[in-house]
């Protein structure tokens, strides 16, 4: 089998890339390890930056997002048992975000690809990518026990942090930058109305909590927990009690969350990771295959989308003009945005979480920083600009 662009991984990065290439008249094949139901149900991110929303619309994948997604024009910060709202449009010259789950983005892109796109193969495990420096790199994969090869003009590794494409970049060419974090998140899905009509990011003396949502009847909730936590230790009652405590406000001492059945819970480790460069010969890396951010800034999915938007444009330019100029610039172009997101995600994480080794002095510094954001339009604008996302490079 031969294709112009072989795409390893059918997560948001691989699926959006396939759609953008299809729209540009460039053929591709997507090879996805898991089955369709697994990919469509994997609980992950929930916030789309304005640029991601616009890109999905422009790609023809915005119809259900515009009908069912929930536009959000701000977030609430809670600290010192007080709340402070950040109003995104007034702080950023009109920018906002959309609450629309990654599961739904993935379902929409899969439906489009199966309806009129190139091949999207599920249950196809890529075992290696060879010949990055040749004119025709080869993807080796196994589907239904049968070893197969896909030859390509270009290969894009959209196979996430545990994927295999990164190994096509030799170790002496690759630089890895990494940081682990001394806490994890317990991610919870519950049949309960959202805590508040916007997202609540809470600093408390018992650690971080985040109250998000999936619909008017479903809440998505996160609690900072120690690394190595077993989700089985967190009963629904313990989860709700802890949320009540971490989200408490002095002005409303009797306030409690409206409880409902917990339908899923999982512990998510936190990692910061960047692999440079994001291109080696005819092999490109995009999304989590190249970089991971801790989720506090809601950036992972948006960075994955930004990478493939830049790459699809570069491949379209190459196809139309024969020029590899944008392809050559791909890694540097993406890494500028990646490092901005790494910084913002680390900042949000360090400012809102309680490090087990944290001193009372450190806590006072966190509270001073949060107070600054709540009282200075300049500090608030810095957060809001990063959260709603910087414009994509033209
Ligand atoms: P992925 O979504 O990881 O997709 C990679 C795809 O490649 C997968 O479908 C995988 O099955 C496939 N694959 C892997 N290996 C192979 C192979 N050998 N052959 C073929 N296919 C392969 N971000 C937020 O902003 N907020 C969150 O709350 C949040 N929660 C997260 C929770 C978890 C557990 C994880 C892992 C990530 C979370 N993220 C979150 C980050 C966000 O979901 C990711 O940044 C986003 O999924 C990146 O998309 P991607 O397509 O690059 O990678
Ligand atoms: C969600 C996840 C995040 O990491 C975040 O910062 C905001 C929202 C969510 O899953 O809804």
Largest CA distance in the chain: 67
Specify whether 30 is located in the same domain as 112. Answer: yes
How many angstroms is it from 11 CA to the middle of ligand 1?
6
Tell me the two tokens of residue 330.
Answer: 């791909």
The answer to whether residue 390 is domain-embedded is no
Phi, psi of 286 (to 5 degrees): -140, 150
Would you call 193 a catalytic residue per the annotation?
no
Best substitution site from 121, 163, 219 to test ligand 1's pocket, by max atoms within 8 Å of Cβ?
163
The answer to whether residue 80 is domain-embedded is no
Query: Is the pLDDT assigned to residue 394 strictly greater than 80?
Result: no
The answer to whether residue 304 is domain-embedded is yes
Specify whether 251 is located in the same domain as 294. Answer: no
How many angstroms is it from 47 CA to the middle of ligand 2?
6
Specify whether 33 is located in the same domain as 141. Answer: yes
Tell me the two tokens of residue 41.
Answer: 């149900």
Q: Collapsing DSSP states into helix, strand and coil, what is residue 208?
A: coil
Specify whether 134 is located in the same domain as 150. Answer: yes
Specify whether 218 is located in the same domain as 328. Answer: no
Specify whether 103 is located in the same domain as 238. Answer: no
Q: Do the beta carbons of residue 5 and residue 152 sit within 8 Å?
A: yes
Ligand 1 in contact with 163 (CB < 6 A)? yes
| pLDDT number for residue 254 | 87
Specify whether 43 is located in the same domain as 6. Answer: yes
Specify whether 50 is located in the same domain as 173. Answer: yes
Ligand 1 in contact with 373 (CB < 6 A)? no
Ligand 2 in contact with 299 (CB < 6 A)? no
| pLDDT number for residue 355 | 97
Return mean pLDDT, the chain. 97
How many angstroms is it from 199 CA to the middle of ligand 2?
8
Q: Do the beta carbons of residue 305 and residue 61 sit within 8 Å?
A: no
Ligand 1 nearest atom to the CA of residue 187, by list position:
28
The answer to whether residue 314 is domain-embedded is yes
**DSSP conformation class of 295:** G
Specify whether 112 is located in the same domain as 142. Answer: yes
How many angstroms is it from 213 CA to the middle of ligand 2?
9
Would you call 201 a catalytic residue per the annotation?
yes
| Per-residue pLDDT reduced to its tens digit, 180-228 | 999 999 999 999 999 999 999 999 999 999 999 999 999 999 999 999 9
Phi, psi of 364 (to 5 degrees): -65, -35
| Per-residue pLDDT reduced to its tens digit, 14-65 | 999 999 999 999 999 999 999 999 999 998 899 999 999 999 999 999 999 9
Separation between Cα atoms, residue 121 and residue 54, nearest integer Å: 27
Nearest CA to ligand 2 atom 1: 46
Specify whether 35 is located in the same domain as 138. Answer: yes
In terms of Cα–Cα distance, which of 393, 337, 302 is closest to 52?
Answer: 302
Local confidence band at 239 (pLDDT 50, 70, 90 cut-offs): very high
Specify whether 55 is located in the same domain as 106. Answer: yes
Tell me the two tokens of residue 256.
Answer: 């409690």
Would you call 353 a catalytic residue per the annotation?
no
| pLDDT number for residue 286 | 98
Ligand 1 in contact with 311 (CB < 6 A)? no
Separation between Cα atoms, residue 276 and residue 272, nearest integer Å: 13
Nearest CA to ligand 1 atom 35: 44
Q: Where are the beta strands (DSSP E) in the chain?
A: 2-8, 28-31, 47-49, 70-72, 74-79, 82-87, 97-99, 120-121, 124-130, 138-143, 146-157, 175-190, 199-202, 209-215, 218-225, 262-276, 279-280, 283-285, 291-292
CA angle centred on 61, ends 274 and 124, rounded to 5°: 60
| Per-residue pLDDT reduced to its tens digit, 298-314 | 999 999 999 999 999 99
The answer to whether residue 89 is domain-embedded is no
Ligand 2 in contact with 295 (CB < 6 A)? yes
Altogether, the residues listed in the chain come to a count of: 394
Give me the CATH number covering residue 300.
Answer: 3.50.50.60
Ligand 1 nearest atom to the CA of residue 125, by list position:
19
Tell me the two tokens of residue 352.
Answer: 């809102």
Percent of the chain with pLDDT over 90: 97
Ligand 1 in contact with 32 (CB < 6 A)? yes
How many angstroms is it from 319 CA to the middle of ligand 2?
37
In terms of Cα–Cα distance, which of 216, 200, 224, 262 is closest to 43?
Answer: 262
Would you call 38 a catalytic residue per the annotation?
no
Q: Do the beta carbons of residue 168 and residue 331 sit within 8 Å?
A: no
How many angstroms is it from 222 CA to the middle of ligand 2?
8
Would you call 162 a catalytic residue per the annotation?
no
Separation between Cα atoms, residue 158 and residue 120, nearest integer Å: 13
Question: What residues contact residue 172 under an 8 Å CB cut-off, 6+ apart?
Answer: none
The answer to whether residue 85 is domain-embedded is no
Give me the CATH number covering residue 370.
Answer: 3.30.9.10
| Per-residue pLDDT reduced to its tens digit, 241-279 | 999 999 999 999 888 999 999 999 999 999 999 999 999
Ligand 1 in contact with 159 (CB < 6 A)? yes
The answer to whether residue 393 is domain-embedded is no
CA angle centred on 119, ends 118 and 121, rounded to 5°: 150
Ligand 1 in contact with 198 (CB < 6 A)? no
pTM over 0.90: yes
Ligand 1 in contact with 157 (CB < 6 A)? no
Specify whether 371 is located in the same domain as 235. Answer: yes
Domain count for the chain: 2
Ligand 2 nearest atom to the CA of residue 298, by list position:
6
Query: Is the pLDDT assigned to residue 138 strictly greater than 90?
Result: yes
What range does the domain containing 124 cover? Answer: 2-69+98-179+271-355
Catalytic annotation, pick one of 181, 291, 299, 353: 299
How many angstroms is it from 90 CA to the middle of ligand 2?
22
Q: Do the beta carbons of residue 362 and residue 21 sit within 8 Å?
A: no
The answer to whether residue 309 is domain-embedded is yes
In terms of Cα–Cα distance, which of 164, 172, 162 is closest to 130?
Answer: 164
The bound ligand whose nearest atom lies closest to the alpha carbon of 143 is 1
């Amino acid at each position: 089998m031969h294709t112009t662009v072989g795409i390893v991984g059918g997560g948001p990065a691989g699926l959006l890339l396939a759609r953008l290439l299809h729209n540009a008249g460039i053929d591709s094949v997507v090879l996805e390890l898991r089955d369709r139901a697994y990919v469509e149900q994997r609980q992950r991110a929930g916030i789309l930056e304005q640029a991601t929303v616009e890109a999905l619309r422009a790609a023809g994948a915005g119809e259900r997002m515009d009908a069912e997604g929930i536009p959000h024009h701000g977030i609430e910060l809670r600290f010192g048992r007080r709340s402070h709202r950040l109003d995104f449009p007034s702080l950023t010259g009109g920018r906002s975000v959309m609450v629309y789950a990654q599961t739904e983005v993935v379902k929409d892109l899969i439906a489009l690809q199966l309806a009129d796109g190139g091949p999207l193969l599920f249950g196809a495990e890529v075992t290696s990518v060879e010949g990055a420096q040749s004119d025709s790199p080869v993807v080796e994969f196994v589907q239904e026990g049968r070893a197969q090869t896909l030859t390509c003009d270009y290969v894009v590794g959209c196979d996430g942090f545990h994927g295999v494409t990164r190994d096509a970049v030799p170790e002496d060419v690759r630089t890895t930058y990494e940081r682990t974090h001394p806490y994890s998140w317990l991610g919870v899905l519950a049949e309960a109305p959202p805590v508040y009509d916007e997202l609540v990011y809470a600093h408390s003396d018992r650690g971080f909590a985040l109250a998000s949502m999936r619909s008017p009847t479903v809440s998505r909730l996160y609690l900072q927990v120690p690394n190595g936590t077993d989700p089985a230790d967190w009963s629904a009652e313990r989860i709700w009690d802890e949320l009540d405590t971490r989200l408490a406000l002095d002005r409303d001492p009797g306030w409690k969350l409206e409880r409902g059945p917990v339908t899923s819970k999982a512990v998510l480790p936190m990692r910061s990771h960047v692999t440079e460069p994001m291109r080696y010969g005819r092999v490109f890396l995009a999304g989590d295959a190249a970089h991971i951010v801790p989720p506090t800034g809601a950036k992972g999915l948006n960075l994955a989308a930004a990478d493939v938007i830049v790459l699809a444009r570069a491949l379209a330019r190459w196809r139309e003009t024969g020029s590899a100029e944008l392809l050559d610039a791909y890694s540097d172009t993406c890494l500028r945005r990646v490092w901005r997101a790494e910084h913002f995600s680390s900042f949000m994480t360090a400012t809102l979480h309680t490090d087990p080794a944290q001193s009372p002095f450190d806590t006072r510094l966190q509270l001073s920083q949060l107070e600054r954001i709540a009282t200075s339009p300049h500090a608030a604008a810095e957060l809001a600009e990063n959260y709603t996302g910087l414009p994509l490079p033209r």
